[in-house]
Structure 1
């Protein structure tokens, strides 16, 4: 879980062959505070988290979906990570040195860290991972940060050094997730065909036990983990494509952990059962939701049309109607309140008359009086694709559909299963528009999503946005360590994105996780709640499941 913020909600049934339910005291919830004071941490139990989508690839540099990153993040460690206060601290690297000219980072690795087959993890594995991610034979969306490296060296078994072409601000953080791989297993292989795509051999806190596609991914704790054995023995990632069904499983006691909808948070979890057995949390999430346009489609190539669509959508209506007020209107790709967020960026308030005027200006008119605009004999209609199981996006789409109809634009909504949605539509640019969300990284670099060089197959600029000034500003922001200069670059990027409207930025929601009360050690912080997951525990008296060998 480390620095990846999960969409929580997992299911475990008592019928899983790996779990055996124990009896629990009926007044467990009432004894919560007292037990917290007197019962020590204990090893054992299983946590059940639900996901609306399955993973696709457990080699993180090959993945493009959050489920894959969630699981890979429990099986592999990077060189650095974010702590609870969002400061970069050592992970596989116990320390590092940065040269005075900000070009060279020397990582000093921990000694004795083992891959899960017992082979030691060394600087040679870091080098192998680096060489793999920059290889033209590796289909990855994340090579950009590592292509900034001019020279990589293994100084000795525990020292890895990189020298950048020019100062690179996101450089240190980039070594936090997808790079380190077991050379002794993967060397000489086609990484895309490796068994590790489904059976990771990691160095992290958990190991894969079983993966039933479309049903569950089951992990067990790594007792030899270098930071210490995790207290919770089992982790089950249960795929439940529908969040309403997931909530019923939570209510029945078959789920430990999920992300609530605003309705569930405000109204459906106030019963005695929930108050006695679960804890709820609320904080502004590190995500935003948007409607993105395929800019290769002639419908969307005039920015005035995109602006008109944005004016026609009532974002506050979505915020209140879908999120019940539990969020903020988004204006760009950054979380409100962060140093890179521009509070003065141009807003697109609900203004249907302005929308109609812009559409008329671009040649769209209702020539036959049927309520739908036409231009050169073509009706203004398109399809918005959504992923299955996300009711907030579905409701958002329905509000957008109604509002666009009022200005003469007809849209259809199509819901797709997650794997097909990503692999057959998004990655292949086989769509007209989509409602999706991004996780907001701690470093403000937006190269992978907004730079014009990142528009290829399986890369993250899948809407094909291209703007020369944005490209230049992204590179300026990447290549200075001066925060004020970076801030100026990112402020201007937000202004340009607001003008171009390649996305209609919709909202930043609150994260609303709910967790069974038997799990202790949860300490909310700036990083959320999962940064210290390996330290969560259940007291012996309250443990519910045992891991079967």
Structure 2
């Protein structure tokens, strides 16, 4: 077996003056070249944080996970709209009668060592995720009951219950059984051997890793010959490396759009995300239980103006937790816009009148006001919260900002010690929002707004258990109910960005989960 991470760890320790005495114990049948740099003009430089492991299933670092997609292909692709496209699996059929999927694989895919990829490898990958204590792909298997190989290129996966997002669970890297079927500790240290567009070439510990094109890649030989991956301490170091010109590419799901949009030497590829921002209301309070008041709040803000000012337009206005870029989105929805007349009408139905003297809506002499809980450690949310407070005041509703540290913020939300809070979710591509809105999640889950509605519960259950063929209708029904109830005051979905030096041709097409999805087509101009 070929091992790499042991070398990285050893160099880290000896660099700190610790003599481990283990240098001769490294299992490595293929000697690694450690100190050779070969200048290649047709090359791309990227960066990742120094990995604890290069095992794609056991790795937990998101920057390492992206780099590993250069080595490892996924069973399917996730498109910009969240739908599924073939990859290693070329087609599939859903069997509703026994909650299963039958998958047929491409037969012309080889591992980097030349051995053919088969259904045995896919089944082994699924079982490896199932048995892992931790994995970023754990959600993919949490509803899987069993998997069986039917033929060299066909397998069947059974799920414990009807599950609308069956197909989305198929996004995970496939690993070769003949390489990775070893003990956990040994597997952590393996050099990557996958079926992806690039192969491991050499390593300079604590410095960089070098990859070469997989000329036998099943989608076609990559046009860029080599990749150099710099090893850095953290995400900030990756951004710094890009700004210093040390690397050619950087991915950011939270970024200063203004800094980069003015740079003519780069190209920015906007990527939709599942990062949803909202205002949450505490339903334990009487005023927050009033549907007309919640509806009025949806017309108070010019949310597009927030996106334009604070994200330079790089975000998507949303009225529900379904991203308008998603294939699940109800195309008949007309986004709500700021409308003071509707605010006045809805509040008047609840006895609120506009007081010219205080410039606030009042009822029985008491102004309509909210205290907005905000994490002060999130500087961007703080700025936006202040802007939101201004928009509320201009309409005639008072907002007081309660800025606290992140620990206090989280504790108060889960304890129900708030009026309104500025929050966000990073939804999974395996879609299910039961945990946020179902009444059973009030005490044991993340329904910290304490929202309870029998119709919502039923629609959430139906959306979860629908056939993959009926998932769209189930989520359209859910969105319609959400628009009637407004359990959250939806704001927007944020966009991420892949920022690339302009020496590379503009045929880069990143997927939301895999920024290197078409890397084999990338080229230098």
Looking at structure 2, the residues matched to 421 and 210 of structure 1 have their Cα atoms a distance apart, in angstroms, of 43
* Secondary structure of 1:518's aligned partner: coil
Counterparts of 1:23-38 in structure 2, within 5 Å, are none
**CA displacement at 1:105 relative to structure 2:** 0.7
* Secondary structure of 1:505's aligned partner: strand
Q: 1:320 to 1:92 in 2, by over 3 A?
A: closer
Q: 1:388 to 1:60 in 2, by over 3 A?
A: farther
Looking at structure 2, the residues matched to 61 and 462 of structure 1 have their Cα atoms a distance apart, in angstroms, of 32
- Cα RMSD of the aligned pairs, angstroms, is 6.1
Q: Does 1:105 align with 2:102?
A: yes
Looking at structure 2, the residues matched to 468 and 199 of structure 1 have their Cα atoms a distance apart, in angstroms, of 51
Check conservation: 1:404, 1:410, Cα contact below 8 A: no
Q: Does 1:330 align with 2:318?
A: yes
Counterparts of 1:489-528 in structure 2, within 5 Å, are 489-508=474-493, 513-520=498-505, 522-524=507-509
Larger CA Rg, structure 1 vs 2: 2
Looking at structure 2, the residues matched to 91 and 139 of structure 1 have their Cα atoms a distance apart, in angstroms, of 25
**How many residue pairs align between the two structures?**
470
Q: Does 1:290 align with 2:282?
A: no
* Secondary structure of 1:340's aligned partner: coil
* Secondary structure of 2:398's aligned partner: coil
Q: Residue 487 of structure 1 is aligned with which of 472, 496, 512?
A: 472
Looking at structure 2, the residues matched to 128 and 68 of structure 1 have their Cα atoms a distance apart, in angstroms, of 22
Counterparts of 1:432-451 in structure 2, within 5 Å, are 433-436=421-424, 438=426, 441=429, 445-447=431-433
Check conservation: 2:123, 2:148, Cα contact below 8 A: yes
Check conservation: 2:284, 2:450, Cα contact below 8 A: no
Q: Does 1:81 align with 2:69?
A: no
The unaligned stretches of length 5 or more in structure 2 are 1-33
Check conservation: 1:327, 1:507, Cα contact below 8 A: yes
Looking at structure 2, the residues matched to 64 and 387 of structure 1 have their Cα atoms a distance apart, in angstroms, of 24
TM normalised by structure 2 equals: 0.63
Counterparts of 1:105-254 in structure 2, within 5 Å, are 105-108=102-105, 110=107, 113-114=110-111, 123-131=119-127, 133=129, 138=133, 146=141, 148-149=143-144, 151-155=146-150, 159-164=154-159, 168-177=163-172, 203=194, 204=196, 205=198, 220-221=210-211, 227=217, 231-236=225-230, 246=239, 252-254=244-246
* Secondary structure of 1:322's aligned partner: helix
Check conservation: 2:437, 2:447, Cα contact below 8 A: yes
Counterparts of 1:353-432 in structure 2, within 5 Å, are 380-385=370-375, 391=380, 393-404=381-392, 407-413=397-403
Q: Partner residue of 1:545?
A: none
**CA displacement at 1:402 relative to structure 2:** 3.5
Q: 1:409 to 1:182 in 2, by over 3 A?
A: farther
TM normalised by structure 1 equals: 0.61
Q: 1:447 to 1:177 in 2, by over 3 A?
A: farther
Looking at structure 2, the residues matched to 457 and 384 of structure 1 have their Cα atoms a distance apart, in angstroms, of 23
Q: 1:505 to 1:43 in 2, by over 3 A?
A: same
Q: 1:249 to 1:199 in 2, by over 3 A?
A: same
Q: 1:128 to 1:464 in 2, by over 3 A?
A: farther
Q: Partner residue of 1:257?
A: 249
